[in-house]
A and B are shown apart, each in its own frame.
Chain A
Amino acid sequence: MLLRRRDIVCQQAVELVTDYLEGTLSRRERRRFEAHLAACEHCGEYLAQMRATVRLSGQITPGDLTPEMRAEFVALYERWRSQPD
């Protein structure tokens, strides 16, 4: 996003959050973003929520294979191994 010399507003700040978290903002953009955050409680909350969103997605962990699926894969493996390519 193109930033003008003046301060950024909330509506612009929310569009910069991912670039900020990814570390892809230019030094100037990052300074403006952080200056806005220091002065804006709501955008601070917004950033905390985006961080939480990333963290919560990381909590989806692989489920165990059911015994049926496990048996199916074992059977597949044995078939594949016994067949020529």
Chain B
Amino acid sequence: MPPTARSHRGRRRSVKVVEDDVELLARLRAGDEHAFVTLVARHHDSMLRLASSFVPSQAVAEEVVQDTWLGVVRGIDRFEGRSSLQTWLLRILVNRARTAGVKERRHTPIGDAEQAVDATRFDKTGQWSSPPAPWVDEADERLAAGTLTATIRDALGNLPPLQREVVALRDVDGLSTREVCDVLDITEGNQRVLLHRGRSRLRQALESEFGRA
């Protein structure tokens, strides 16, 4: 993959989804069942992933997703196009998930210190004593072979809820910082801290998977 395609992938995908969503929404308003199912299919993973982060079970998460769609079908005219349809959907979802019974999840204050890399890997002067073992090439090979996404999914699933939500919305779903803050109702500063910690943990998980020092 050329470097440009890599760096702009999320952005490009997100722009395309927004355009198609607008068209599908118009068809849904006209009562097009196929448009509904297409929209559901497109956003289902992202919605289910986010809902699962808030509620105690997969079954409740699925109910929250359905309930969100019910709200969309019944209140469709209330979407005013001020945000992307995806952001709007996810905001509705978070509201419903919060009322569906939030599991114990917000107990780690964002201000708590958490290091990107374990302190034992640096010497007294703060320089690497156990530097990162290279793994990027191996990961790309595994990606090409189609055996990597399960690893990434697992690593993402093991993140603390808030970090997982931010990383999934930004890096998997391709939302902007602003949209993530909007969906999760957090500040840009907190979003950045959570993104940093989440990505750092993911990198560590990938290093443990691939890195052979």
Contacts and interface: CB of A to CB of B under 8 A. Distances in A.
Interface of A: 9-12, 14-15, 17-19, 22, 24, 42-43, 45-46, 48-50, 52-65, 69-70, 73-74, 76-78, 80-81, 85
Looking at chain B, what size class is its interface with the partner chain? Answer: 35 or more
B139 to A, nearest CB: 6
A49 B199 CA distance: 10
A11 to B, nearest CB: 4
Contacts of A15: 115-116, 196
B69 A22 contact: no
B74 A10 contact: no
B178 interface: no
Interface string B112-128: 00011101001001111
Contacts, number: 128
Contacts of B186: none
Contacts of A80: 70, 73-74
A62 B88 CA distance: 19
Contacts of A14: 116-117, 200
Most chain B CB neighbours (cut-off 10 Å) among A19, A46, A49, A50: A49
Contact of B199 (A24, A43, A54): A54
Nearest to A50: B203
Given A53-B202, A60-B156, A9 B125 contact: yes
A10 to B, nearest CB: 5
B171 interface: yes
Contacts of B10: 58
B64 interface: no
A52 B139 contact: yes
Nearest to A15: B116
12 contacts: A9-B122, A11-B126, A14-B200, A18-B192, A18-B199, A19-B196, A24-B192, A57-B171, A58-B9, A62-B44, A62-B46, A65-B44
Contacts of B6: 55
Contacts of A11: 117, 119, 122, 126-127
B156 A57 contact: yes
List 6 tightest A-B contacts by C-beta distance, closest first. A9-B126, A18-B196, A57-B171, A42-B131, A11-B126, A62-B45
